[in-house]
Amino acid sequence: MKVAVIGIGGSGSAALRFPAKAGHEAVGFEQFRPGHDRGSSHGHSRMIRKTYPDPFHTRMMAGAYELWDDLEREAEESLFVRCGGITFGPAGDPKLEATRRSLEEAGLPYERLSREESATRFPAIDIGLGSEAIYQAESGFLRATRCVLAQARLATAQGARLHEESPVLHLEEQGGAVLVSTASQTERFDAVIVTAGPWMGKLLAPLKLPLRTALRQVIYAGVTRNEELFQPDKLPVWIEEPSEYYGFPADGEMAGIKFASHDAGMDFDPDRKDRPVMAGHVERAMQHIATRFSDLSGEVIASQSCLYTITPDEHFILDRAPGSKRIIICSGCSGHGFKFTILLGKLAADMAASGRHDESTLPWSLSRFD
């Protein structure tokens, strides 16, 4: 089988690697270079966790964890920092309770911590008066850019071809194949996996996919004292409900600690060259995080951008393009998908090879929007 993968980010690098590993002819197309910072799959840290407020995503994460472990072994590189994670908020918060129920349903171990117990374990962070935390030891963060580069490297080592700085301009299904056209060539494939991230809606515009692209801001806040308490052995990754702020311990690459708001941002054209700093958001975010971490300096060390590709229900899309048996769409990670990308890439590759749809992924099908 000859398969093309369009967009070599988190899902795309996996979707390229697995067919190559299985002995298929795999060809990747990337409009920039793998590891670029224009889309959704870059950075020093992306959260990985099994603590989801719904049982489906909690179950699916089991497969993702196995694949990340396999990638680390195969790449012979440290890609996953296991520092544990807490989800916290007011006692009885609906998402907190849903997360607890999902963990119990999946048979996953967790600890329920009071504010005082959390402060004893993790003295850098104050979860707030009347709040409690759910701690899960298997959470942590992935080194996103390194993950993408490792998968692209392994894919090419296993025989894949990778066209860098080669934007795909057109796709057309014709005569039992799919034609993929760039500015310099048109090539025929048995199947095409489209993992174009924020550019998915533009590349497949005639399909009118239910996607929008949004800009989000990531902030590195300076630490003024007790830096040892912000290291991964003393501070877990964290999610606050219902505010949907989240953050990380020191990642060893950038000074300070990284945090962001899942919701704050604006709709954005991915072809826009500048990535504006949303000053009002940064100011509000810094005010909020100061209530959680008393040892911060108040300095914004860095502000970085990331693009979300968002579906109406904020769940992913993994399906064949409407009316096609050969074009597979993998998109809509909606700001919480990097941890799943290795699984999404493998599932997309399996769909391309088998011609079948894995029933376990039906919650990610396009039919839910009919």
Instruction: Give dist(CA 27, CA 12) in Å, integer.
Output: 11
In this predicted structure, what is the pLDDT of residue 366?
95
DSSP 234: T
Is the confidence at residue 192, as pLDDT, over 90?
yes
Instruction: Give dist(CA 101, CA 90) in Å, integer.
Output: 16
Of 260, 282, 310, the domain-final residue: 310
In this predicted structure, what is the pLDDT of residue 365?
95
Range of the domain at 238: 84-140+212-310
Residues 128 and 95 in one domain: yes
Residues 151 and 274 in one domain: no
Strand partners, 171: 180
Angle at which helices 144-157 and 341-354 cross, to 10°: 30
What type of residue is 12? Answer: G
Q: Supply the CATH number for residue 304's domain.
A: 3.30.9.10
In this predicted structure, what is the pLDDT of residue 184?
96
**Counting Cβ atoms within 10 Å, is residue 138 exposed (0-12), middle (13-18) or buried (19+)?**
middle
Residues 227 and 267 in one domain: yes
Residues 224 and 128 in one domain: yes
DSSP 321: P
65: in domain: no
- Output the six-digit token pair for 199: 């550019």
In this predicted structure, what is the pLDDT of residue 264?
67
Instruction: Give dist(CA 326, CA 172) in Å, integer.
Output: 10
In this predicted structure, what is the pLDDT of residue 314?
93
93: in domain: yes
* pLDDT tens-digit series, residues 271-322: 998 988 888 999 999 999 999 999 999 999 999 889 999 999 999 999 999 9
Nearest CA to 220 among 275, 289, 273? Answer: 289
Nearest CA to 213 among 316, 311, 303? Answer: 311
* pLDDT tens-digit series, residues 22-78: 999 999 999 999 999 999 999 999 999 998 888 899 999 999 999 999 999 999 999
Residues 352 and 298 in one domain: no
